Amino acid sequence: MGTYADKGDEAALLDAVDQFIERDVRPFARKFEADDSYPKEIADRLSQLGLFGATIGGEYGGLGLSARIYTRIVERVSACWMSISGIFNSHLIAANAVERFGTEEQKQRWLPMMARGEMRGGIALTEPDCGTDLQAIRTEAARDNDGLVINGTKMWITNSMYGNFLAVLVVTNPIAEPRHRGMSLVLVEKQDGYETSKLEKLGYNGIDTGSVHFNNTRVPADNLIGMEEGKGLQQVLVGLELGRINIAARGVGLARACLEESIAYSQLRKAFGKPICNHQAIQFKLADMATRLEAARLLVERAAHAYDDGIRCDMEAGMAKLFASEAAIQNSIEAMRIHGAYGYSKEYNIERYYRDAPLLAIGEGTNELQRIIIARQLIEKSKAD
Ligand SMILES: Cc1cc2nc3c(=O)[nH]c(=O)nc-3n(C[C@H](O)[C@H](O)[C@H](O)COP(=O)(O)OP(=O)(O)OC[C@H]3O[C@@H](n4cnc5c(N)ncnc54)[C@H](O)[C@@H]3O)c2cc1C
């Protein structure tokens, strides 16, 4: 993967992202969110900024950003409206699978279109009966003369309605033991037999989350990532390292927004003759929020560095995801308390942060699963010593 090596370029890109947020996102976020309507113009601007190709290598038309810079972008966007981040984050997990595991021909065919944002998509793993336990998936892809025929249902799939492709985890050999040896990852374009329906959510509005029904959906055999059956789960799990670091960066963004808005509000709001920031109970909250934020950011940076160095980093990514998502949840609760009734009101952003934050403890592997991953690594490492 290429990198955006020049520091001047990085600073210019971060400036452009900041301008985009202030001009194109902030003034519209509340309305799109309240209506739960898809922000198509904002998504198109993401494409102009090159963010659909943020982590795709320069040789395939992407920006080739390091995880370190990518997470700073995700933090910035999420500090304004987390849903916008999801539009390119899920897409890039699918692109990452193609770039790491696809054949050269698949990379040449798919990645430039993905980088330009002409092909926009996501990753479809979860099903109505399973999410954490991916070995229990049932969506099947059967071989047919000239390709694969897919049947089954995926659930909670980001970008499934307004995107035009998904990387779908399917069972290609139902009798394989262990089951993951019969799983493959397939790129599926929108077509007949690919039906979606929108799911209503607590938060993370605006972005499309849907169920996807595959009904005899046909794809050419060369849409199988790596042209090899039985590697799908492994391909997905490696891709989730970047996915978890990006969820953690969203947590940092959300935790930061909660803190910044609480600091500002606590200086304006007066109680008992003085701004509430002069009451020690509020100061304690601000101090804890800032400390959580800083610790979360450091864990994200550490995980991003390990990822950029090409080191296995499921433990670092898991720790960052676990801590930063809980920091976002905690900071949203404290922000609401600091804002009093205004925190509960639709006039302020705090109630949105409070509704958006819990997703971070669920998506890309629940926090219970992160604890399991971290503990397994600790034990493995202790045995190796
Ligand atoms: C808004 C939104 C967007 C999403 N986007 C996508 C997407 O784009 N693509 C996609 O594939 N999925 C997506 N998901 C699904 C998400 O990844 C799953 O919800 C998540 O993996 C958890 O799966 P589950 O909901 O089936 O919970 P389950 O797996 O049923 O888990 C239920 C509870 O049991 C716990 N649990 C399960 N196994 C264990 C264990 N071994 N030990 C201890 N506790 C355990 C879990 O931690 C959880 O607390 C999205 C979900 C949401 C809400």
pLDDT tens readout for residues 293-322 = 999 999 999 999 999 999 999 999 999 999
Task: Give nearest CA residue, ligand 1 atom 31.
Answer: 132
Least-confidence region, from 2-6, 60-64, 116-120: 2-6
Classify residue 14: in a domain, yes or no.
yes
Cβ–ligand 1 contact at 124 (below 6 Å): yes
* Residue 200 pLDDT exceeds 70: yes
Same domain, 251 and 367: yes
**Nearest CA residue ID for atom 18, ligand 1:** 131
CA 214/CA 233 separation, integer angstroms: 19
Q: Which atom of ligand 1 is nearest to the CA of 368?
A: 47
Residues 138 and 216 placed together within one structural domain of the fold: yes
Both 73 and 172 in one domain: the answer is no
Q: What was the pLDDT predicted at 303?
A: 98
Closest residue by CA, ligand 1 atom 2: 156
293 domain-assigned = yes
Q: Is the CB of 370 under 6 A from ligand 1?
A: no
pLDDT digits (tens, 9 = 90+) for 80-132: 999 999 999 999 999 999 999 999 999 999 999 999 999 999 999 999 999 99
| Domain region containing 17 | 7-119
pLDDT at 4 over 60: no
Contact 139, 185 (CB under 8 A): no
Q: Please say which residue of 167, 198, 230 terminates a domain.
A: 230
Of 230, 248, 266, which residue sits at a domain end? 230
Number of domains in the chain: 3
This prediction has a pTM of 0.96
156 lines ligand 1 (CB under 6 A): yes
Q: Is the CB of 185 under 6 A from ligand 1?
A: no
d(CA 88, CA 104): 23
Q: What is the per-residue pLDDT for 7?
A: 67
- Tell me which residues are annotated as active site: 364
Per-residue confidence (pLDDT) for residue 146, from 0 to 100: 84
Question: Could you give the CA distance from residue 304 to residue 248 in angstroms, rounded to a whole number?
Answer: 10
Going by C-alpha positions, the residue among 155, 134, 169, 147 that lies closest to residue 365 is: 134
Picking from 230, 262, 286, the residue at the C-terminal end of a domain is 230
Report the pLDDT value the prediction gives residue 216, as an integer from 0 to 100: 96
Q: Are residues 16 and 111 in the same domain?
A: yes
Same domain, 68 and 47: yes
Q: What is the dihedral of CA 42, 106, 179, 136, to 10 degrees?
A: 20
Pair 44, 111 in one domain:
yes
Q: Are 252 and 313 in the same domain?
A: yes
Q: Distance from the CA of 85 to the center of ligand 1, in angstroms?
A: 19
232-268 vs 67-80: helix crossing angle, rounded to 10: 50
239: pLDDT confidence band, cut at 50, 70 and 90? Answer: confident
Instruction: Kindly state if the Cβ of 362 falls inside 6 Å of ligand 1.
Output: yes
- Per-residue pLDDT, averaged over 346-364, amounts to 97
Pick the residue with more confidence: 164 or 1?
164
* Domain co-membership, 15 together with 77: yes
Candidate of 156, 157, 159 to mutate for ligand 1, largest count of ligand atoms within 8 Å of Cβ: 156
CA distances from 147 to 194, 214, 231, 371 (A): 16, 15, 18, 40
**Which sign does the torsion angle of CA 211, 213, 217, 220 carry?**
positive
What is the rounded CA–CA span in Å between residue 205 and residue 124?
A: 19
Q: Whose CA is nearest to atom 41 of ligand 1?
A: 369
Cα gap 298→357, rounded to integer Å: 19
Please check whether residues 115 and 142 belong to one and the same domain: no
Contact 118, 43 (CB under 8 A): no
